[in-house]
């Protein structure tokens, strides 16, 4: 399958994840578990975009531009309409992807530049941005950014890339298990439900289906994710808010 086809599938799963405020409680957890692959898939596609784009500068500016657009829309909705932190919207995966691409660009630059000063400076920028992501200061950064780095470093080595994904998933799983008071089935079930990030590994079948081709070059496919992501989140937030008011 090409990138456009897979993106449409992932956008459908993304809606299931974000529908939580409108769903009966018994559906929230299952939908949350089966959609852990979405964020990392778009991280994977961002790495592919970095590789294939004709202008990496424009690509990165586009990501940061949509980050600002999303932030502005979130701010307007949260301050002028919802006015309730519990019901507000704070998602912005554009920022996570932008930071991930920035790190990759800095690393790629350091590998090509000969001057030691600029190489060290680029690596320092990459390190700082990685720390920002790992501290959880951006949406899903703890998972998406390391996933993007694995995808970048082993892009030409699919088998090693898959092994990297599996090791990373096991690390996230072990982080859930360390320090538990007991390892009963109920405790393990609760921990997995509360922090299922390790299930990002379910993205592997979708990556395996990817044929390395972009698909149609029509503008709608270039911008559909950029438009759909904020639009569906804002719509769900507004619907949930007005239903809560009723």
Q: pLDDT of 119-138, one tens digit each? A: 999 999 999 999 999 988 89
Q: Rounded mean pLDDT of 194-212?
A: 94
pLDDT in tens, 2-47: 999 999 999 999 999 999 888 888 888 899 999 999 999 999 999 9
Percent of the chain whose pLDDT exceeds 70: 100
- Other Cβ atoms within 10 Å of 178 Cβ, number: 6
CB 97 within 8 A of CB 145: no
Please, which residues have CB within 8 angstroms of residue 197's CB and are 6 or more apart in sequence? 36, 142, 143, 172
Q: At what angle do helices 93-112 and 37-52 cross, to 10 degrees?
A: 40
């Amino acid at each position: 399958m090409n990138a456009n086809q897979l993106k449409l599938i992932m956008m459908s799963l993304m809606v299931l994840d974000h529908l939580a405020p409108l769903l009966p409680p018994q559906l929230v957890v299952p939908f949350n578990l089966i959609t852990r692959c979405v964020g990392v898939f778009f991280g994977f596609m961002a790495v592919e975009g970095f590789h294939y784009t004709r202008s990496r500068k424009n690509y990165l500016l586009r990501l940061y531009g949509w980050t600002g657009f999303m932030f502005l829309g979130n701010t307007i909705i949260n301050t002028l309409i919802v006015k309730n932190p519990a019901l507000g919207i704070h998602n912005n995966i554009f920022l996570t992807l932008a930071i991930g691409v920035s790190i990759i660009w800095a690393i790629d630059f350091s590998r090509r530049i000969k001057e030691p000063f600029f190489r060290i400076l680029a690596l320092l920028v990459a390190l700082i941005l990685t720390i920002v992501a790992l501290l959880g200061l951006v949406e899903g950064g703890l998972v998406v950014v390391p996933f993007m780095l694995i995808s970048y470093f082993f892009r030409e080595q699919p088998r090693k890339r898959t092994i990297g994904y599996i090791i990373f998933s096991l690390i996230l799983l072990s982080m859930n298990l360390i320090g538990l008071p007991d390892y009963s089935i109920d405790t393990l079930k609760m921990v997995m439900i509360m922090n299922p990030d390790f299930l990002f590994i379910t993205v592997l079948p979708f990556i395996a289906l990817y044929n390395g081709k972009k698909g149609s070059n029509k503008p709608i496919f270039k911008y559909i994710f950029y438009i759909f992501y904020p639009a569906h989140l804002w719509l769900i937030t507004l619907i949930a808010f007005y239903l809560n008011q009723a």
